Amino acid sequence: MTTLSIEKIAGILRKHWDPEKVQKYIGSYERSWFAFASSESIREGAASGGVTTALLAFLLKEKNINGALVCRSVVTDGKVRPEFFITESEKGLLDAQGSKYIAVDFIQDALPLIRSFKGKLAVVALPCDTTNIRRACNNDPELKKKIVMVLSLFCVHNSLPDLIDLVIHKLTPPDSIMTDFRFRQGHWRGRLRADFDNGLKQDKPFSFFSDYQNLYFFCQQKCHHCSDHTGYNGDISFGDIWLLSMKDNPIKHNAVITRTPAGDSTFQRALDADMITAKLVAIDEVCAGQTRSLPFHYNVSARSKAGLLLGFKIKDTVHEKVRWNEFLGAWIALFNEKLSRTVFGKKLIRMLPRIILKFFLFVKKGLESF
């Protein structure tokens, strides 16, 4: 496919992002960028362009912070679970690289680490936990003084541990125990990788996991109530760019939104220090890179209405008009989440052929693209 044909397809599918939509989906911001870590060694283990890691490494190097709160995947008895920790080194940052798609309890597990740390911190969090951080800081001046930078990651929803357990069960060869796991590395959609105690390795397309996740099987229930996709309350937000024009770029990029003067100044200093390479872009380019996820995530109204048919009580906090395709897309997500909580549903999901998963995902994405 030529570059010209890709551009034509992108133009046909492109949505219009007027200021009202940008305010809803993005919130307040200073500037927006497409960026990547200048260091190839940092990009190597990243889910996207490695910009979050590079920025934290810059802050540590310049002694603007003493530590960074991050999250890593740990493997215990063949199970993958998330773990918050505070690192004071670039090595710790590299250990935490990559996306994690497992439910976390930020208030219980991360906030005590932050409170007990002696020194200034940068914190990496999902949008919902970014809001929790700001709320905690407003009630605690010492905490507010300690946290000098909040970095928020784009998030559609998070999943219960049951989902990764299902995927690991399918991945694990007989008489093997998994010892290491990465959800997503590499270019474009990325690769899922797992190592086992007997030396065997598994390397699969990320879709081996994401097909289930994107269909909302084992979705964390609180995510149905959330409208914040990009992290309104961060100093800087980071996300993927799913633009056809970026697919063949040899270096995967991050979308970056600087939201506060402090965040914008910090990002600019990292650029000046050549820790990050970036191109300033219009905010609608960031929106176009998340063209399906932004409206679907924001539209709590659709989930509120669809939930009435499935026994979900979801408060409508955004009061959007709900079109038929939005209602149906929300109903599919809620139905799948509810199904995955039943014994029968878990067995059915585990047995579903991948071609069936692909078909339902194609339908859902089609509904979100209208």
Q: Model confidence over 18-51: pLDDT tens digits?
A: 999 999 999 999 999 999 999 999 998 888 899 9
Closest by CA to 168, choosing from 199, 204, 221, 198, is: 204
Burial class (CB in 10 A: 0-12, 13-18, 19+), 272: exposed
Query: Of all residues in the chain, what percent carry a pLDDT higher than 70?
Result: 96
The separation between CA 329 and the C-alpha centre of its own chain, rounded to angstroms, equals 20
Topology, domain 31-158+220-290: Aspartate Aminotransferase; domain 2 (3.40.640)
The answer, yes or no, to whether residue 128 has pLDDT greater than 60, is yes
The predicted-structure confidence for 59-70, as pLDDT tens digits, reads as follows 999 999 999 999
Mean pLDDT for the stretch of residues 210-236: 97
Locus of tokens 């809001």? 131
Residue 13: predicted pLDDT: 56
The answer, yes or no, to whether residue 341 has pLDDT greater than 90, is yes
Sequence ranges of the chain with CATH classification 3.40.640: 31-158+220-290
The answer, yes or no, to whether residue 264 has pLDDT greater than 60, is yes
Model pTM score: 0.93
The separation between CA 161 and the C-alpha centre of its own chain, rounded to angstroms, equals 16
Top-confidence residue, 47 or 101: 101
Q: What does the alpha-carbon distance between residue 248 and residue 187 come to, in Å, rounded to a whole number?
A: 9
Mean pLDDT for the stretch of residues 245-257: 92
